[in-house]
Amino acid sequence: MKHALIGLLVLLAIPARAASLEDAYLAARDGYIKRFEKNRNADADAGYAALTRALADLQAKLLKIIGSTHLDGFSPDGKITLDALDSGDEDFGLLDGLVYTSKDQKTRVLVTTASLFDKWLKAHERFWEETPLPTDMAAALKRDDFYTQAVTNGSAVVTYAEIPVAKPASATLAFAVLDGRTQDQPPAVPDEMIITVRRADRVFVITAATAVKAGPIAACDAIHARLAAEAQAAYDAAQAAGGKDAALNAKAEELAHKPDRAYPDCFATEAPKAAFFPALAKQAQQLIQKLPTK
């Protein structure tokens, strides 16, 4: 009975210790953020050196929380995801974790704890006030702005279609999307997939270049071309009126972004029927199978 009680106390101490390590990491990270925001006008070289030291400290703390992850064909050591510790930087606010990169640089695996993931979601609910993020993981994974905030640097993610994947026995969730990144116009052909797998204690976010070309899809190109022509006609009419006709201006504004919004919607419907799609689904499942089961 005594030995059983000791064993139970040890088991109870493990999650408590993990939680305290996470709290210490988050406190240290937030302390650095305040410091860098206060000194954002400091000498650039000194600031870069300070940032390098801060990220090294945070990386060491994350390694104690997450542990090391072995992935065949990937870098042996994980690198902290964060690039910035100043909220004024466009790369600020990425999902806290360690990233492992494949030898060919085409695939990245972000590893974090389920607890850190959930805390990040809660903290980012109002990160962009105009588009609040869901705090439920399954709902957040259906949002382009989740991926833009969590895993990218200096670009926006546009998702084009869900990729069906089977959830491993060790996982509680597996979800994959076909996507592209943009700083202006969304790409006509998505060239990346993002796969998220959650276990009880870990979350893995895989970002990989598509192994086959995902498109183009003629039907979607035709819709985009038609809507683009309508948008251009509305703009020309508004310009011809010297920008003084409120109704024409409103119509031009309404139609301006319609082509880019309609294209991913079309792609989501048509892609699963395309010849290239089974190869993408196979690639996504193979990437999931590379993940450790423990």
* Strand pairing report for 79-80 and 98-101: antiparallel
pLDDT, position 199:
95
Whole-number pLDDT of residue 291: 96
Q: Kindly give the parts of the chain with pLDDT less than 70.
A: 1-18
Residues in the chain: 294
Q: Which residue shows structure tokens 């990218």?
A: 152
pLDDT at residue 6, as a whole number = 46
Domain residues of the chain, as ranges?
67-214+282-289, 218-273
What's this model's pTM, rounded to 2 decimal places?
0.89
Give Rg (Cα) of the chain: 23
Omega before residue 134 within 30° of 0, cis: no
pLDDT for 44 equals 83
pLDDT attached to residue 13: 47
Q: Output the pLDDT for position 5.
A: 46
Distance CA 26, CA 32 (A): 10
What span, in angstroms and rounded, lies between the C-alpha atoms of 36 and 149? 20
Handedness of CA 13, 18, 21, 23 (dihedral sign): negative
User: Which pLDDT score is estimated for 16?
Assistant: 58
Cβ(155)–Cβ(168) below 8 Å:
no
**Which residue matches tokens 């997939």?**
193
